[in-house]
Each structure stands twice: as C-alpha cells, then as structure tokens.
Chains A and B, each alone.
Chain A
Amino acid sequence: MDIHEYQAKELLAKHNIKTLPAILCHNQSAAYNAFITLASGVVAVKAQIHAGGRGKAGGVKITRSADETKNIAENMIGSKLITTQTGKEGKVVRKVLVEKGANIKKEFYLSLTIDRKTSKIAFLISPEGGMDIEDVSKNAPEKLLTVLIDPQYGVKSFHILRMFLFFNLERHLYNEFSELIPLLYFAFIQEDMSMLEINPLILTAEGNFIPLDAKVALDDNASFRHPYYADFTDEDEEEPLEVKAKNVGLNYIKLDGNVGCMVNGAGLAMATMDTIKEYGAAPANFLDVGGTADSKRVETAFNILLSDKSVRAIFINIFGGIVKCDMVAAGVVTAAKNIGLTLPVVIRLEGTNAQDASELLKSSGFNFTIAESLADGAQKVAKIVHSINKQYNIKKA
C-alpha cells in the first residue's frame, strides 16, 4: 500500500533519521498558523497525494509569508492535481504539509527496493537529485549506481563507501553519511517497506543529509505485525469501488472498458481481460472472485460490477477445479435473481460438472449466453457489447 509523504517521514523519524520540522494542515488557517509556528522565514507547502511528480505539477510551492502560505493552501486544498503519475483524472488534494525551508547545497537521488532477481535489498542512487529517475536511467545510466545488500549480512562499511565515493563528497561528510545509510536500511526492513524513495535527499549548508521528499510503499502482507498500517490507509486516495470490493474480500481493479469481468484466479483474470481486448472489446475491470465462487460471493461481485455504470455486458469465466461448476452456476442464477439482473451475461464454466452447469444455466429463465472456451466467450461478449454500443449511438444521434 502507498502512504503519504508526511506518514513516510514519520516512519523515518521513528528510526532516528533527520527530517525537517513540518506540520500537516487540513485547511488554510492551519497553514497560516503553521508558518508562524515553524518560524523559519521560508516554508514549502506540499500537496499530500499518493503520487509522485508533484513539484512539476504545481503541488509544491515555496513561500516567505504567512498570508501567502494561507493563500497557497487555500488554492491547493480541494483542487485537483494532475501529475505524470496520477493519470489524466488527477487527484483531489485534501491536505498539505507545511515544511520548514532548508539551506540546500546539493541534491541526490536514493531509493531502496527488493531486488526480485537476487532476493537482496537494492540501494539505487544517483547524484542527479530531484530528477525523474526513469529519465536518468534512459539518458544517463552512468549516473546510476545499484548497491545490493544481502539481508543475511546487512549493510557493511564498504557498501557505504561505494555510495559515498559515487556521490563524490568531501571526506568530512563521511561520518554523517555513514550514519544515515544503515538507518535507512533498518527502517526499510523493520517497517516492511516494499519501496522507499528519497528524491531528493539533500545535503544542507550545515552538512546534514535530510530526505526532502519521501515516498514509501508498505508490504500489505506484513500488516499483521504493524497495527499502524490500518491507520495509515487513506481511502480517499483509492478508487471507491476498489475499497468497497476490498472490504468484502474481493480483488477488484477498475479499468476503462465496458465488459465487466468475473473470474476465479488472478492469472486467469488477467488472461481473460487480454482476450477480451484481442476480440475488439475492452475490459471494465479486473476481478478475482477467488477459489470459492459461491452464490454469496457471486452476488457481491455482481453488485460491484453493476456499480460501474459503464459496464454494458458481463463475462463470467470460472475454471472449476476444487469448486464444482454446477455449484457455481446455481450461485450465479441465485445471485442474478436476487439483484434482478438485466445486463447480458456470457458464461464460460470449465472443469468439474461443466455439463450439468450449462443445463442449469439454460433452464434458469435468464438469457445467459453459454461459451465453450475462453476465446469463444470473449468473442461472444465483444459482439454483444458492439451491438449495444451501436444501438446506444443511434439513440444518442
């Protein structure tokens, strides 16, 4: 899960990493007071959204007065911020962080991730702080250094030295730098982060290394040992339907198309989306109903699919292995009755008792379209959606 900059910095501070004094503000008067409290002369007002690229999009503003701080906050809060990472819809800013200014001497890039190939922790660093790291990797790969840490041994002095030399820093800064790196590593491991990106990490005129920005993703699987994860969740930052699905234990991701998909298993669900696209239609969502596709789950899934008003038809693709297809079919019929389903539905059930299932669906009274294979189903649902779209367009005209 993604968290806000102010939360990421809280985590870093907990591990004794220096951060700049800052105050989270939900409205302009709080921002006004924050400027006075910080008493620094210069502050940054930073929009708190779960996306990077805020600086270039106008989500970070520097100011020297309380009145201006108030005005900036007023303009930011409630407005939509569109960055390179938010998509074209952008994200509504609901709070800002007012942060004390710093005397910046140099800026660097530093991130930690899990390197899947080697199963080690990867420090990725660059002297090009504040830049989009994907651009650096494309245009100047020689300005990137990856240092892999074996979790069995942890960070050693030579790892730190390699990074220090790559940054080409003056010798007297080594002590401070060599304290920071292990702290970052510990914070990453102890808090079960899956990503920690500091861009930029600044060197101040006073000789301190400070994360000016911090972007953290936490490993959802580790929530059992970090009760605070629940408090860090910000449902405002997530797609409402995805939150609703998550609360009932369904794995749902909203997409732009109009074929609602209901599939058991994540891999098969992705493959189903891809096949729908191949036949000229577009999936409205990713939805994994899981191994037990009983009537209750199917009903919940139907309700979620139907909350998306762009859905014109539904494709159910279930591979019944341990679950029997006739049970799934019965569940689909019951759920369809309960919610009074009117949208066209294409169903493909494969596996145990698939024949019985198809009989059951045919005699259900619903006009279900039965598909023989994944490709057949995708083709059929694409055809249905095309003809609906045509009618829809005629009506509109």
Chain B
Amino acid sequence: MSILIDQKTSVIVQGITGKEGSFHASKCIEYGTKVIAGVTPFKGGTFFNETVPVFNTIEDAKKNFKIDATAIFVPAVFAASSIIEAIEAEISLIVCITEGIPSVDMLNVKSALKSAPSIMIGPNCPGIITADECKIGIMPGFIHKKGKVGVLSRSGTLTYEAVNQLTKSGLGETTCIGIGGDPVTGSSFLTFLEMFERDDETKAVVMIGEIGGTQEEEASEFVKNKMKKPVIGFVAGKTAPAGKRMGHAGAIISGGKGTALEKLSIMEKNGVLIAENPSVIAETTVKALNK
C-alpha cells in the first residue's frame, strides 16, 4: 500500500514535447511509471519516444484512455490554463511541476479546485513518488526505496536529503510528496497527513517545512488531535532574515510572522518530534519508531 499512486496509476504528461517535459517524462518511464499519453497543443497525432501518443487536448486523450493522474510541465504563462483543463477533465490527481505561476492565477485554480474531485500537488514542486512503483515528478528515483515512512515537504533537494537518509537507515519510504514552495499551492501538509494516517504501510511521517505562511502550525494541530503515528518535523530557515524571499516565492517572513522558531515551538507543543538539524532526520525517525 501507499497513498495516491502505485504501479497501476495511468499518467499523462502535459507539455510532454517541451525540454523539461520530455526529459522528465523519459525519466518517469524509466522508473516504471505508466505514462500512457502526452498533451501538447498542435502536436496531436505524433508520438513521444515513438511509443507514447500525443494529443492536442486532454479531452482528446480522454477519449482514448482512462487517466488517473497528470504531470504538468507547461511554462508558467500557460500553466494555470493547463491546470484548469485538467480539473475540468476531472483527473483525480494533478501534479504541477512548473515554477513561476502568478499568485492571482493560483487563486483562480483554487476556486476551480473547490468544487472539483481533483487533488492538486504543486506548483513549483518536485512531485510525488511511491517508492519502486510510480514516479510523477523530477526527483531522482534511485534514492527511494520501498519502506515505511511517508514524506511531505515544501522543498526539493532538502527532501532528497531526507529520503536519502531514510533509505540508508533501512527504513525506506512509502510515498513522498513535495507540496511546493509557492505562497498558494493546490494542497497542503494537512491534505496528506490524513491519508498517511489511514495507510497501513506508513508507520511514520516526516514533514519538512520552511519559513513563511502557517501551514506547519495547522498541520501540527491535526497531528495533535487526529494522528496516532509519529510525525517527525524539520523547518528550514532559522537564520533567514525577515522580509526576504529565500528562493521559494512562499519562503518569506512577513510582518514578523512565519519564522522558523515560531513554527518549531508550536509543532513541538503539538507533539511533532523535531529534528534539530537536517542530518538527523532519519535518526530522529528511527528513535520515534523504536519507542
């Protein structure tokens, strides 16, 4: 078991013929992901890598395939349109890798998501992977190994750091999700904690946050009230100055709010086990599971 995706998940790639899209679509296929079709305007009727049929629109792809998930690599200017196209096509899982989508566009996307059955991950994220089964995103596949820890993160390479440790420690992972570094994202930590709590294979959850916003705090409320499984937390940016965007559009301390220390203290109070530095994430998880 795992959450959201497994080896049976049928995936399409929006923007499959672009530079990023084609590179990562190939990597996903190599990993074992069932990429059944691609979507690129005016490229309908062609094939990606000679095997994957390309369609002009999702509507066309849907006539030929049952689609479970989509990966979006469309440039920021058109990305919101592609996401809404996927929402209107009622695709269950939408993973948007694209960085640089304006917040106002994302507000429209959020409105569209409200009345739709879709779950959206991203934008500006590494994607989602269920170890040894299915990868929808840009993370390096080889560091992941099937195991028992669920991983949630607002970051990219910092997630790989944690996953690498978990794999080396022998714990391994179930599903890892990068929810994205933007101020407005399709989903939050909260969306997935409940799924991990229900998943039999997942024995613990690692949650990697950073400065900006309040979702770490909200997630930790849920941990306190609704979760039996241990949750291990880390927050990046203790040394980040106020008012500066630290790489991610959403990583900013504004009006004195969203500092790492504030988040850590609330998380700790709500029973999240804090990893003091990123090198001890796996160690802290092992300890939590041995209790």
Contact = CB atoms under 8 A, between A and B. Distances in A.
Our verdict on whether A and B bind, yes or no, reads yes
B158 interface: yes
B191 to A, nearest CB: 13
Given A251-B247, A267-B248, A374 B279 contact: yes
A255 B244 CA distance: 11
A253 B252 CA distance: 12
B183 A116 contact: yes
B84 interface: no
Nearest to A191: B104
B229 interface: no
A189 interface: yes
Interface stretch (B49-57, B88-96, B134-142, B199-207): B134-142
Contacts of A394: none
Contact of A268 (B110, B111, B161): B161
Contacts of A133: 255
A264 B104 CA distance: 28
A263 to B, nearest CB: 8
Interface string B132-167: 000000111011000000000111111111001000
B189 to A, nearest CB: 12
The listed residue with most B CB atoms (<10 A of its CB), out of A151, A152, A224, A270, is: A270
A235 interface: no
Interface in A269-307: 269-271, 273-278, 282-283, 286, 288
A375 interface: yes
A219 interface: yes
Contacts of B110: 119
B45 interface: no
A267 to B, nearest CB: 2
Interface in B189-229: 208, 210-215, 218
B66 interface: no
A320 B101 CA distance: 26
B3 interface: no
B246 A286 contact: yes
Interface string B105-141: 0111011001000000000000000000000001110
Nearest to A286: B246
A265 B276 contact: no
Contacts of A195: 254
A121 interface: yes
29 contacts: A114-B103, A116-B212, A117-B215, A134-B255, A152-B114, A195-B254, A221-B103, A222-B103, A255-B239, A263-B157, A265-B155, A265-B158, A266-B247, A267-B154, A267-B181, A267-B210, A268-B155, A268-B156, A269-B246, A270-B246, A274-B278, A275-B277, A277-B239, A278-B276, A286-B240, A321-B139, A322-B27, A351-B160, A374-B277
Given A114-B103, A152-B111, 10 more contacts: A116-B184, A119-B111, A151-B107, A194-B103, A194-B183, A220-B249, A273-B239, A277-B239, A288-B247, A374-B279
Interface of A: 85, 114, 116-117, 119-121, 133-134, 150-152, 189, 192, 194-195, 219-222, 224-225, 251, 253, 255, 263-271, 273-278, 282-283, 286, 288, 319-322, 350-352, 373-376
